[in-house]
Amino acid sequence: MSRKLLVVVGDTLLDRDVDGHVRRVAPDAPAPVLDEDSRHDRAGGAGLAAVLAAAGGEHDVALITALAGDAGGARLSELLTAAGIEVYALDLPGATPEKVRLRAGGQVLLRLDRGGAPSPPSGDLPQAARDVLARASAILVSDYGRGVARHPQLRAALEQASAPVVWDPHPNGPAPVPGVRLVTPNEAEVRKLADDAGEGSALSTAQRAGHLLRTRWRAGAVAVTCGSRGAVLCHAGPTPLVVPAPSTADGDTCGAGDRFAAGAALALADGALVSEAVQQAVAGATAFVAAGGLAAAARSGPEPAPGGLGRPVDEVLAEVRARNGIVVATGGCFDLLHVGHLATLRAARSLGDCLIVCLNSDDSVRRLKGPDRPLNAERDRSRILEALDCVDAVVVFDEPTPEAVLTWLRPDVWVKGGDYADGGPGLPEAEIVHRWGGQTVIVPYLDGRSTTRTIAAARGRTEGKV
């Protein structure tokens, strides 16, 4: 039996927590000096909702979002792919939105926001994104007010979707499309969206504003989340359903709203009634906070070491795309560069306006080829490739496959060398490249040329001399 598929739609941000200690005040200003101890990145916005939905491991999760062609977009691709999420990315003009929190002793001293004003995604909705929406068991729109939920073709596809849709709104975002099964604003959002001053009790305000928005949006139901008090479900009847939290949970509530919306969408994907989905979502969000919130459930590893996804790649992408050129990419270990490699690289470069080589890191090569490889370190391999006139940029990746870096680069053409066209194994990257409408092509190796054979021949000659 196939697993249920949740498709998350919305704006993804890069959240970065910088933790350290404050031991002194700056001599040039009355401000504390933070000595950095560690840095952790995680996907925020719709990306966080997708990560939380995938964390249970019981459902497949796909994400339709917008990614910029910068280092922040590359990091998000890495984080999302590592979480097992299929990413369908639209082009995001400008810079990746980032939220950087400077913390000491668990307390936030300052939050720095980067990325500028919201930039709606550009271009058409890829056919692969339409197809994944059609296959969804449920859809969650996690709107963070930066433009993805305004995309006209995406809105049309959401309105036509047969799967139940949960919409987590934002005051700066658009109204949900008609026919949404469940909308999940919090108390502050529902008051702002309904222009309700909040006279009377919190319950009466949630009920009044929730019913107003349900009618205005032509939604099936509105669940107003009330923090530790649970949620109020406003549906077709005049009496709301009050869903209390199963227990009191003290802790960091950051991400609890995303956990609630994701939990409701997952329950609907499994066939639950709306009332049942809200009860499961309240229980899940409460348990999430009690277990430590994001610190326990969504924190990634430390910031990766520099050396891949650098500025030269950004510049090449921006330059070629500014003139509507064709971005070509290929990948491999390129441990001992030989004439077979050169033939493949030249053939790849002839297919477009730039060639970006996705290079396996040293650790990645060891996992693929064994402990004796690579013979040349990634820095040396990068420098040799960059010296070729047919290579415009090199990007190093550490994962077993180039899925994360491909999701960021989104090349128009992905080139592989080998015998895949002659009945060999399927090409796993083809499905990934199809997500944004890219094309996968194969160019043949020169017969008899390979790094493994070259190393074996060299060792054979050496052993013969002993």
Say how many C-beta atoms besides its own lie within 10 A of residue 37's C-beta: 11
Residues 148, 154 contacting (CB under 8 angstroms): yes
Residues 274, 182 contacting (CB under 8 angstroms): yes
Residue in 17, 41, 258, 362 annotated catalytic: 258
Tell me if residue 398 is catalytic: no
The residue behind tokens 């060999």 is: 424
Going 42 to 44 to 47 to 48, the CA torsion angle's sign is positive
| CA–CA dist 67, 146 (Å, integer) | 12
46-55 vs 256-269: helix crossing angle, rounded to 10: 60
| CA–CA dist 302, 38 (Å, integer) | 7
Strands of 260-410 (E only): list them.
327-332, 354-360, 393-397
Residues 54, 298 contacting (CB under 8 angstroms): no
Say how many C-beta atoms besides its own lie within 10 A of residue 247's C-beta: 10
CA distance to 172, 356, 415, 434, per residue, from 352 (Å): 40, 11, 11, 18
Residues 183, 265 contacting (CB under 8 angstroms): no
SS3 call for 60: strand
Alpha carbon dihedral 75, 396, 121, 262, in 10-degree steps, equals -40
Peptide linkage before 374 cis (omega within 30 of 0): yes
Going 349 to 352 to 356 to 358, the CA torsion angle's sign is negative
How do strand 98-104 and strand 60-67 relate by DSSP bridges? unpaired
Say how many C-beta atoms besides its own lie within 10 A of residue 27's C-beta: 6
DSSP 8-class letter at 3: P
Structure tokens given for 290: 């009690």
DSSP 8-class letter at 422: G
Residues with a known catalytic role: 258
